[in-house]
Amino acid sequence: MKINGSVPPDPTQLYGTVKKVDKTAEPAASPATDSVKLSTNARTIDEMTRAIAQLPDVRDDKINEIKTSISNGTYTINPSAIAGKIINEIA
């Protein structure tokens, strides 16, 4: 079964001449160093991020305060404030 009677073109004719690379030659000299300059805002954000990373994950003082007020019976819950914060988180 013959689909196409023509011969496919020679790839060298399609793309032109190919330059050979001398692999023994030394690579071109590149700049000695790369450098990055951060804006003032970026430096401030970096400093804040580092400061936050040093904070403890758990605030023991708050936990102890709440435990004490619960054991004393003085801990009160404000349902309206809790509901408001939940709604603000959702919205």
Report pLDDT for 32: 75
> Could you tell me the sign of the dihedral formed by the alpha carbons of 77, 81, 85, 90, in that order?
positive
Q: What is the Cα–Cα distance from 72 to 77, expressed in whole angstroms?
A: 14
| pLDDT tens per residue across span 1-29 | 556 667 776 766 666 666 777 777 676 66
Please list the alpha-helical segments (H only) found in 20-74: 40-53, 60-72
Domain chopping of the chain, boundaries: 39-91
32-36, 49-53, 69-73, 81-85: least confident range: 32-36
Helix (H) or strand (E) holding 13: helix 11-15
The answer to whether 44 touches 38, Cβ cutoff 8 Å, is no
Of 37 and 1, which is predicted with more confidence? Answer: 37
